[in-house]
Structure 1
């Protein structure tokens, strides 16, 4: 296994997971936001991950074997969750509708916390790979002396 591609793949994972954690933090920060510039409550955002292919890194098409690894991961898009908003009965709220219900964001704190734990574990795994590749590189340099 070549070490520089391993570092690049791991770095792409770190970048993608950091963005995922930023999106989760943004969702949690807006858990009670009932008004947005578009109107209505805030809608939960979700990252869509996609594999970065070797062709994107300058490999010639058709030269890849069926076992050729990808070149990491990237966030291809950030999409809104289309699930309905949470309805809470609170006729005294300034954003309550005619029936007294407030439309709150479609954010479930438990789901966000599970996503946060998953993202932090994936981040830790990428750091471990990065450190292992760095250690192997240093050992190879020692052997080459």
Structure 2
């Protein structure tokens, strides 16, 4: 595999992992978002990756996960609470979101390392050509 090919594949991986990190940040920021019982609860964003024929990876879609009904929570002081003092909260597991965040960060870091290695390979090749 050539250095240009490594850069191309790493670039697709960087893009996919950045999208995944953005979706996870959005999920974590909304883990405590209350909605009225008349509406749907916040649903987590799930990034679906798809392998490319050239070895790279793309974001196939961003799906919504979790139950739109969420979970009902008693919060009578919340301005969104119904007559019974209930609000809808997202049905998300913060531990699962944090575990996914670690995996997405590691994937992003690995892609950055591949990019650095390819750059070093180019620099070495240029030095050989100058000598």
* Coarse TM-score class (shorter-chain normalised): 0.7 to 0.9
Distance in 2, Cα, partners of 1:111 & 1:82: 12
* Residue aligning to 1:32: 32
Residues matched between the structures, number: 127
**Which deviations, in whole Å up to 9, do the C-alpha atoms of 1:61-86 show, x marking residues without a partner?**
xxxxxxxxx2x111110000034513
* Residue aligning to 1:58: none
Gaps of 5+ in 1: 55-69
Distance in 2, Cα, partners of 1:81 & 1:97: 25
Q: Is residue 119 of structure 1 aligned with residue 104 of structure 2? A: yes
* Residue aligning to 1:66: none
- Cα offset, 1:127, TM superposition: 0.8
Distance in 2, Cα, partners of 1:89 & 1:100: 6
Report 1:1-145 matches (<5 A).
Answer: 1-35=1-35, 39-54=39-54, 70=55, 72-83=56-67, 85-96=70-81, 100-145=85-130
- Cα offset, 1:100, TM superposition: 4.7
Distance in 2, Cα, partners of 1:81 & 1:123: 23
Gaps of 5+ in 2: none
Distance in 1, Cα, partners of 2:62 & 2:34: 21
CA RMSD for the aligned pairs? 2.0
Report if the CA contact (8 A) 1:48-1:76 is conserved: yes
Distance in 1, Cα, partners of 2:51 & 2:122: 25
TM-score for the superposition, normalised by structure 1: 0.77
- Cα offset, 1:2, TM superposition: 0.9
